[in-house]
Amino acid sequence: MNTLTITQPDDWHLHLRTGSILKTVVVHSARQFKRAIVMPNLNPAISSITSALNYRNEILQALPKDSTFDPLMTLYLTNQTTVDDVKQVAACEFTYAFKLYPAGATTNSDAGVSDLIKIYPILEAMQQHHVPLLIHGEVTDETCDIFDRERIFIEKHLITLVKQFPELKIVLEHLTTKEAVQFVESSPANIGATITPQHLHFNRNAMLVGGIRPHYYCLPIIKREHHRLALVKAATSGNPKFFLGTDSAPHLSHLKENCCGCAGCYSAFAAIEFYTEIFEKEQALDKLEAFASFHGADFYGLARNKTTITLEKYNWQIPNSYGADDITIIPLKANESLSWKLK
Active site residues: 247
| CB-CB neighbours of 185 under 10 Å | 15
Choose between 108 and 328: whose C-beta lies nearer to Zn ion: 108
The yes or no reply on residue 112 touching ligand DOR (CB under 6 A) is no
- CA dist 130 to 11, 112, 119, 127, Å? 21, 22, 16, 5
- Count of positions on this chain that bind ligand DOR (CB under 6 A): 10
> Rounded to whole angstroms, how far apart are CA atoms 161 and 182?
17
Minimal distance, residue 199 CB to ligand DOR, in Å: 11
Q: Given the complex with ligand DOR, which of 105 and 311 has the nearer CB atom?
A: 105
Smallest separation, CB 83 to ligand DOR (Å)? 26
Q: Which of residues 234-263 bind Zn ion (CB under 5 A)?
A: 247
Binder to ligand DOR among 20, 51, 107, 164 (CB under 6 A)?
Answer: 107
Site for ligand DOR in 3-22 (CB under 6 A): 15
Residues 53-84 as b or e (16 or more Cβ within 10 Å = b): eebbebbeebbeeeeebbbbbbbbbbeebeee
Query: Could you tell me which of 26, 106, 35, 100 has the C-alpha nearest to residue 59?
Result: 26
**Burial status of residue 92 (CB atoms within 10 A of its CB: 0-12, 13-18, 19 or more):** middle
Q: Which is nearer to Zn ion, 11 or 247 (CB)?
A: 247
Q: Is 264 in the site for ligand DOR (CB under 6 A)?
A: yes
Of 41, 74, 248, 293, the residue at the interface with ligand DOR (CB under 6 A) is 41
Q: Is 236 in the site for ligand DOR (CB under 6 A)?
A: no
Question: Is 267 near ligand DOR (CB under 6 A)?
Answer: no
| Helix, strand and coil in the chain, % to nearest 5 | 40, 20, 45
Contacts of ligand DOR in 113-142 (CB under 6 A) = 136
Before 250, cis peptide (omega within 30)? no
- Binding at 178: pick from Zn ion, ligand DOR, none (beta carbon under 5-8 Å per type): none
**Contact flag: residue 90 with ligand DOR (CB under 6 A):** no
Q: What is the sign, positive or negative, of the torsion defined by CA atoms of 226, 33, 56, 118? A: negative
Residues in the chain: 343
d(CA 22, CA 248): 12
User: Which residues within the stretch 189-218 sit at the binding site for ligand DOR (CB under 6 A)?
Assistant: 218
Interface with ligand DOR, residue 49, by CB under 6 A: no
- By a kind-dependent CB cut-off of 5 to 8 A, residue 215 interacts, out of Zn ion, ligand DOR, none, with none
In angstroms, the CA 296 to CA 160 distance is 24
Residues that bind Zn ion (CB under 5 A): 247
